[in-house]
Amino acid sequence: MPPRIQQLPPLVVNQIAAGEVIERPASVVKELLENAVDAGSRRIELEVEQGGHDLVRIVDDGCGIAPEDLPLVFASHATSKLRNADDLFAIGTFGFRGEALASIGGVAHVVLQSRPPELPHGAAIECRGSELSAVRPWNGAPGTRIEVRQLFFNTPVRRKFLRSPATELGHISEAVTRLALAYARGSRPGLHLILRHNGRVVHDIPPQATLLERIGLCFDEQLPAHLLEIEGSAGPARLSGYIAEPSCDRNNSRMQYLFVNGRWIRDRNLGHALQEAYRGLLMTGRYAVGFLFLQLPPDQVDVNVHPTKCEVRFRNAQALHQLIYTTVKARLRRANLVPTLQVPATPTLSVPTASSIPFSRSPTVLPELPPRSVPIAPPPPASPALESLPTPAVPTPRQPLASPGPATLPLFARVAPPRVLQLYDAYLVVETDEGMLVIDQHALHERILYDQFRRRIETGTLQCQALLLPEAVDLPGEMAGRLLEQREALAELGLGIEDFGGGTILLTRYPVLLGRRSPREALLAVADHLSNQEQPPSRQVLFNDLLSLLACHAAVRAGERLSPELINELLEQRHLADDHHHCPHGRPTALLFSRQELERQFRRV
């Protein structure tokens, strides 16, 4: 006989649901907080003991629960927030599944007391492991009061997974933070949120606190000073919030907050958009900080995909990715971030300020030059002479400038050049109004070349040099294969290759922007990069990587003595780069030792 089928008893149903929804004390806190908010509360007080192991108590001043409904609050799929399936597509509340209290009641001892403000008396009920007490009268203040004790008393495995009170408190505090940020004064009335742990106040967020003030209260009071406001829209989608300067970066993505219609969510795709916008500003392995708020018509987002509702599905995820990417990127570009050097209080720290650099400020724009005809360049020498390496944009009789096609950038007037000194054949020290600017010559040149490459590729004005006699490059192992796989991407970057067989590649074409660097070496660097990839990178990532690789290859290096003309060219081109403060790998190109700091250090002020 096959095993017989039977309906599970409510306790088991609820424990299964709790398994999904109630992972730890913070999940209880999250669900209770959301219920209090859904009830229209203006003030919510949370009291937690021993990280929530011993007690979670929440008191709100919301609409309360009618006494005759009390027997239903712990029933599964019992809710006041949803009437029919159509409502599922226009949800305006946190809750709608009617499962939270049933789950909590299944794995804890809960006392619930409630009084709607319009009634003279309220009522109370208890639930312990899904067993309900009788409803008793209760005479408390209007609103709802819920106490949860003995969490996981009947699920020892879950209880074992509880961490230290401090760790659990951390998660609880995070749940409070997410709600506090979502309910800043503004589009809706502010929420007064209080969290106490073992009698000590952890959070007390006043209702009138703005989003910026809430961020300061929940994280670090210094953080708001480093935030940039963002605003954008695409169709019916609206994006607002703050992003942090790159110097606030973290080693994980936890400080990337994303809210959709007031609900905190996790979304890898949109997190990626934020990271992408910071590309070039952050070192690899570092994460941006941001507080992003998306407002969407309810029918554009499905919140019913995850039991804890921390993940949602968007109707048009691609458009939202684009909205976040372009808005954040444009804002960062506007911020003109230059790291400031501060010594000696913080020896290696560089705190960025939004100050600008004199020769990048208000440049006089000259009319565009007419396009020049470009002579065909002779093939460059295989190993470039080190002492005189023109940057690709410096026309010399032997090394023509890449053609200034239709997308020619405006040239800037030669204002009196700033005073410059090259140190250690690697750094340029520049006198500016703001202070002493120390530039990394390689990083800056790399940035300039990267942007030129990129722009010329985008506008189809990349100049290539064809090799009349293709150069044979022998490659070990499967490197040749890897290169040939990316033939199209390489062609876009101006590198023409052909298969000669037997691991030999013929180099037929290279971008003029490589200057006098050996194109063969560039190809080897590209092959090396490709063979180090564990899995094939996305097109976009590959393109960016190779672009910065070529820029790095072509740029002047540390250890090269630069002529005064070259130094001037480099400085003049500085402001032509999109983000001249960081090289494509995210390292700063310049550090500012502010004049003020200098004067402070010498006790002049």
Residue with tokens 């209007």: 142
Among 15, 27, 79, 336, which residue interacts with ligand ADP (rule: CB under 6 A)? 79
Asked if 357 contacts 308 with a C-beta cutoff of 8 angstroms, the reply is no
Which residues, in sequence order, are CB contacts of 573 under 8 Å at separation 6+?
391, 393, 448
For position 65 contacting ligand ADP by CB under 6 A, the verdict is yes
* Total site size for Mg ion, rule CB under 5 A: 3
For position 138 contacting ligand ADP by CB under 6 A, the verdict is no
For position 288 contacting Mg ion by CB under 5 A, the verdict is no
For position 45 contacting ligand ADP by CB under 6 A, the verdict is no
Closest CA to 271 of 259, 256, 261, 282: 256
Question: Which of Mg ion, ligand ADP, none has residue 51 at its interface (CB below 5 to 8 Å by kind)?
Answer: none
Which residue minimizes CB distance to ligand ADP? 95
Question: Which of Mg ion, ligand ADP, none has residue 144 at its interface (CB below 5 to 8 Å by kind)?
Answer: ligand ADP
The smaller minimum CB distance to ligand ADP, of residues 80 and 518, is found at 80
Closest CA to 471 of 376, 377, 379: 379
x/- binding map, residues 92-131, to ligand ADP, per CB under 6 A?
A: ---xxxxxxxx-----------------------------
Helix ranges (H only) for 150-267 are 156-160, 165-182, 211-218
Residues numbered 3 to 42 that lie near Mg ion (CB under 5 A) are 35
Among 25, 62, 271, 400, which residue interacts with ligand ADP (rule: CB under 6 A)? 62
Question: Which of Mg ion, ligand ADP, none has residue 116 at its interface (CB below 5 to 8 Å by kind)?
Answer: none
x/- binding map, residues 95-124, to Mg ion, per CB under 5 A?
A: x----x------------------------
Closest CA to 510 of 459, 448, 463: 463
For position 511 contacting ligand ADP by CB under 6 A, the verdict is no
Backbone angles phi, psi at 601, to 5 degrees: -65, -35
For position 260 contacting ligand ADP by CB under 6 A, the verdict is no
For position 403 contacting ligand ADP by CB under 6 A, the verdict is no
For position 308 contacting ligand ADP by CB under 6 A, the verdict is no
Closest CA to 479 of 537, 523, 530, 525: 530
Among 15, 18, 27, 31, which residue interacts with ligand ADP (rule: CB under 6 A)? 31
Report, in Å, the least distance between residue 162 CB and ligand ADP: 22
The smaller minimum CB distance to ligand ADP, of residues 73 and 341, is found at 73
The first and second tokens of residue 512, run together, are 């003029």
Query: Per CB under 6 A, which region of 58-66, 187-195, 259-267, 295-303 contacts ligand ADP?
Result: 58-66
Q: What spatial distance separates the first Cα and last Cα of the chain, rounded to whole Å? A: 93
Question: 3-state SS string over 283-301?
Answer: CCCCECCEEEEEECCHHHE
Helix ranges (H only) for 299-415 are 317-335
Report, in Å, the least distance between residue 98 CB and Mg ion: 8
For position 30 contacting ligand ADP by CB under 6 A, the verdict is no
**Facing residues of 233 across strands?**
238
Closest CA to 31 of 58, 51, 10: 58
Q: Report the half-sphere exposure of 534 (CA within 13 A, side-chain side).
A: 0
Question: Which of ligand ADP, Mg ion, none has residue 173 at its interface (CB below 5 to 8 Å by kind)?
Answer: none
| Cis peptide upstream of residue 418 (ω within 30 degrees of 0) | no
Q: Catalog residues that contact ligand ADP under the rule CB under 6 A.
A: 31, 35-36, 38-39, 60, 62-65, 73, 78-81, 95-102, 144
